[in-house]
Chains A and B, each alone.
Chain A
Amino acid sequence: MKGINFVSTWFRDWYSIFVHELRLIFSDAGAMVIFFVGGLLYPVLYNLIYMNGTVDEMPVAVVDLSDGAYSRRYLQKVDATRECEILLYCTSLEEARQLMQKRTVHGIIYVPADFDSRIVRGEQGFISTYADMSSFLYYKSLTMGTSLAMLDEMHQIQIENYQLPQMVEPEENMPYNRPFSYTIFFISAALMLVIQQTMFYGSSLLAGTLREQNRSFASLPRQLQGLGVGRVVLGRGAAYMAVYLVVGTIIALLVPWLFRLPQRADWTEIMILLLFFIVDCIFFTFTWSTLIWKRETVFVLFLSASPIILFLTGFSWPTSAIPTFWQWVSYLFPSTFGCRAFINLNTAGGTLATVAPEIRALAIQAAVYYFLSCAAIYVENLIVKKRG
């Protein structure tokens, strides 16, 4: 009898906390702005900014002092690549350099005067390239364009001049992101991060407000029978779950569809991943928002953490090259596993089985953060009580 009583009280308390938290969320304009405007605006804005994602037909200046059949054929091939477009022919390297300084061109190809004669004589011909390093994408476009054209020209010379065939036939497969588009690799990681970060900022904003007004949720367990910490965490958590099932579904399913990003996984698999990820994010948020005692401080202190957390997912700098210390730090964040799982599932077209390790990590993390957030409430409750 006592057991049944406990269960029904538990659910009653849980439900009232759930409703209470939902009311708090929906009556706070600041939190609503972050959850709905921030959560939905960022994915759209980033998609617009990175819409093209590649630097195609990058303007290049050419200094062709050789001006012969071979150099011209090579330059035509460079011009024909997707990466480079020959904008101007210059008479001297100095002239080309000035164009690059004015940002009219972002690469220079210099063909010395003896290039053609050397090839005709059966010697090696040299071509110099100069890349504008103010963006790595300029460097990448120039390197790709000139190298691909060089390989093609090389094989043509070998066949025509030396009857020397290619010995190995390379067979290139780039299944996920053929043009190395910035959009696909950046957005895939950013989407999951937006879920985690907007939840953290919004929820911390609310928690900070409550603490400022001395009505923190940590004082709730005292009104409940028995030790009510679990009810408080799960009740509040359910409220965020309700909000983020909507926001998360839009971010993970609707936004990729809207902007025609790859969607190679079944939507049910994405939903399962999302479920684990959101639960983990909720307890992560509850644990770390304990540090926020004033409303606005979360942004002032933790905004610059977002780019750091993004790099820690390994979306750009490869995980294998991340220093060990930072790899350990990366295990603190749900996004480390959430982003990888989303990329592998949604963009690489893996299955739930391929992302099983990440999902397991999310589950372990969620369990640890659940207990930490309970402990945080318990401790905060003691502090608040002491203060009176």
Chain B
Amino acid sequence: MKKFLRIVWRELGIIRKRPLYILASVGVLAVNIVFYTTFFRDGLPSKLPIGLVDLDRTSTSRAFSQQLDATQLGQVVYYDDLHLARHDMETGKLTSFVVIPEGFNADLQAQHQPHMAYYVNSLYFVGGALAYKDIMTMVNLTNGAVQREILRAKGYNERTARAMIQPIVLDQHQIGNPATNYGVYLNGVLLPGILEMIVILVTIYAVGSELKYGTSRQLLGMADGSIEKALLGKLLPYNVIFTVLGIGLELLLFHWFHYPLRGSIGWMFLDMLLLVSASEALGMFLVELFPVLRLAVSVGAILSVLGISLAGFSLPVEAMPPYIQGFSAIFPLRHYYLIHVQETLWGSGFAGCWKEVVHLLLFLFLPAVLMGRLNHAYIYQDYERD
């Protein structure tokens, strides 16, 4: 036990001597938290630039533009001709634009069904999709406003007219994110994903550095030649750092920012503990597989970036090609995400997440598989150092 504590003490010395470890864990996570929470602080974009080419210039077209401008989402930018608006959409300045043709009002009054064209730039995802929704709503409202005038002239009362203008009303509910907040949706999984990346890289770096700087034999000596003891002692300080970071992150998201959470934060803590431990195990497995620091770091880097895409919270996993889908399971983040969904959307507790808990626990057996290989490298240091 005393020897074990000496290994821990040695590691604390390394961490104090090289600021890299604290920078790469606490510093990097802090920068990412500040970035994502301030970047998406509005939750939904507002005042999207929507172009309007008003060739009609009548009270009807002006009323339309004023209403479009008054929506929370859109801000109207006026254009005199189509080409300028199109140019600005091509350069990404506009998310979309609407063209009100000449004679629009006259045709409308004569019930000639004038056209109203709109162009949407769907290359800029969120902006384009939202502008599209906004314009579709406004076109339908315009349609309804004219219909209402006609119905009133025919003598229908307000209630009947409303039912005729909009016979079906959709009442939309968003489970788990009632405000359709993009930040809540993204940060809830992306930030743990960044933590997974940090854990994998720092674990590889810490374990691999012993090889690079040729200190692995000294470490083994302190542990009486037991690689398990040596690694347990070495990684204990990191385990504490990662766990504190993880719990802090969950507290920040659900307690301080009040992200929607149907279930209890206790399950999120468990989820986070499992994510951190599984990622650490994955990092150890990689450095065992490639006991050369720079190679292990490069592979860890390539993998952990992919892990974020493959978690399936942006493009769902079932929409990926079948031969890619299986790969998602090798990343702890995928399982973290599934537990996260169960707990935040449904609050289903143990019943909802035990399968994924088992999956994450399986990761903990990974380092045992190739431990001998690392042991060999630690003793003989027979791989190239840099």
A-side residues, CB < 8 A to B, are 30, 33-34, 38, 41-42, 45-46, 48-56, 74, 100-101, 103, 106, 119, 122-140, 143, 146-147, 150-151, 153-154, 157-158, 161-162, 164-178, 180, 182, 184-186, 188, 201, 205, 209, 212, 294-297, 299-301, 303-304, 306-308, 311, 314-323, 325-326, 340, 343-344, 347-350, 354-355, 357
Contacts and interface: CB of A to CB of B under 8 A. Distances in A.
Which of B108, B139, B302 has its CB near the most chain A CB atoms (within 10 A)? Answer: B302
B304 A124 contact: no
A322 B166 CA distance: 36
A319 B92 CA distance: 9
A122 B316 contact: no
B24 A30 contact: no
Interface string B80-110: 0000000101111001000000000000100
10 contacts: A122-B160, A122-B164, A167-B147, A186-B125, A188-B123, A300-B205, A306-B305, A308-B35, A314-B92, A320-B49
Contacts of A161: 164, 167
Given A125-B167, A131-B174, A321-B45, A49 B309 contact: yes
Interface in B301-335: 301-302, 304-306, 308-310, 312-316, 319-321, 324
B87 A134 contact: no
A222 B208 CA distance: 36
B172 A129 contact: yes
Contact of B298 (A30, A318, A349): A30
A325 B324 CA distance: 38
Contact of A173 (B114, B118, B319): B118
Contact of A165 (B113, B125, B160, B314): B113
B28 A164 contact: no
Interface in B47-82: 47-49
Given A143-B172, A354-B90, A30 B294 contact: yes
Nearest to B121: A176
A351 B198 CA distance: 41
A82 B92 CA distance: 27
Contact of A150 (B168, B208, B315, B346): B168
B367 interface: no
B2 interface: no
Given A151-B140, A318-B124, A347-B123, A55 B319 contact: yes
Interface stretch (B36-44, B220-228, B375-383): B36-44
A108 B36 CA distance: 31
B315 A53 contact: yes
A318 B95 contact: yes
Most buried by B among A168, A182, A301, A311: A168
Interface stretch (B8-16, B176-184, B250-258): B176-184
State the 9 A-B residue pairs at the shortest beta-carbon distance, nearest first.
A318-B127, A321-B45, A177-B122, A133-B177, A171-B117, A167-B146, A134-B341, A133-B176, A350-B90
A124 B320 CA distance: 40
B143 A33 contact: no
Contacts of A154: 166-168
B309 A171 contact: no
Nearest to A317: B126
A321 B120 contact: no
Contacts of A177: 122-123, 128
Given A127-B170, A173-B119, A174-B119, A51 B298 contact: no
Given A167-B111, A315-B125, A307 B91 contact: no
Interface in B204-260: 205, 208
Given A131-B174, A168-B113, A320 B345 contact: no
Nearest to B295: A30
B371 interface: no
A154 B166 CA distance: 7
Contacts of A50: 309, 315, 320
Contact of A304 (B32, B92, B146, B176): B32
B273 interface: no
B293 A300 contact: no
Residue of B49, B92, B116, B146 with most partner-chain A CB within 10 A: B92
Contact of A164 (B151, B180, B304, B345): B151
A294 B337 CA distance: 34
B370 interface: no
Query: Counting chain A CB atoms within 10 Å of each CB, which of B32, B164, B168 scores highest?
Result: B168
B87 A354 contact: yes
**From A74, A146, A182, A300, residue with most partner B Cβ within 10 Å:** A300
Nearest to A54: B319
B120 A169 contact: no
Nearest to B320: A49
B91 A350 contact: yes
Contact of A101 (B46, B173, B309, B348): B348
Contacts of B374: none
B174 A101 contact: no
Contacts of A314: 92, 124
A301 B143 contact: no
A129 B114 contact: no
Contact of B175 (A132, A135, A136, A143): A132
A135 B164 contact: no
Contacts of A134: 176, 313, 337, 341, 345
Contacts of A45: 306
Contacts of B167: 119, 124-125, 153-154, 157-158, 161
Nearest to A142: B172
A167 B354 CA distance: 55
Contact of B324 (A49, A180, A311, A343): A49
A146 B116 contact: no
A339 to B, nearest CB: 10
B115 A299 contact: no
Contacts of A325: 38
Nearest to B316: A135
Interface in B132-181: 132-133, 136, 139-140, 142-143, 146-147, 150-151, 160, 162-177, 180
B304 A303 contact: yes
B190 interface: yes
B166 to A, nearest CB: 6
B342 to A, nearest CB: 7
B203 to A, nearest CB: 11
Given A128-B171, A300-B20, A140 B129 contact: yes
